[in-house]
Amino acid sequence: MSTLKRICVFCGSSVGAPPAYAAAARELGRTLAERGLGIVFGGGKVGLMGVLADAALAAGGEAIGVIPEALVAREIAHNGLTKLHVVRSMHQRKTLMADLADAFIALPGGYGTFEEFFEAVTWTQLGIHEKPCGLLNVDGYYNALLALLDRAVADGFVRAANRSLVLDAPDVPSLLEKLEAFRPAVAEVRIGKAER
């Protein structure tokens, strides 16, 4: 039986150029809903965020958005969600998203997606939480990033054990299987929630 109830999905406020990205967001939203897993995401109705949420909702799933006041107009807040939390800052957004979710997935995206995903990975590394973090590597979008992580290990900036904190798969079923199977290593340094 799954220990996961909700998955936080980081993704772009753009759909990207290749249609495969929107197709993957649609599949992810639908699959999570069909498996009874809720989604937590950035709360916008544009880009991959909107595609993901609409697919989950259409399949009868739970979609919870978290969006800062300053981005309500810019990212066009999705008003058809199960729940929309409007918060004051990006820091509050990320903290609430993490608190509401049991795991993290990054679809293709830009700077915001990268930053949010790696903060979640860092929190796992530091023992702030013990939640799995996975990249949905659609059409090899994250190949160069994964190669960079391997280089960081080879050059002594990331421990080999911590490299395994970033899960990846090219398709939704494989990635969900890895998230389910994830068991965190014991963090060398533990930081409590109040310190994040």
Q: Which residue has the tokens 């006041």?
A: 69
The confidence score (pLDDT) of residue 90 equals 92
Please give the CATH topology (third level) of the domain spanning 6-181: Rossmann fold (3.40.50)
Sequence-separated contacts (24+) of 173-182 with Cβ below 8 Å: 173/31, 175/105, 175/134, 175/135, 175/136, 176/31, 176/35, 178/132, 178/134, 179/4, 179/7, 179/103, 179/105, 179/132, 179/134, 180/2, 180/3, 180/4, 182/103, 182/132
**What are 91-124's pLDDT values in tens digits?**
999 999 999 999 999 999 999 999 999 999 999 9
CB 107 within 8 A of CB 138: yes
The confidence score (pLDDT) of residue 184 equals 77
pTM score, two decimals? Answer: 0.94
Q: Where are the chain's structural domains?
A: 6-181
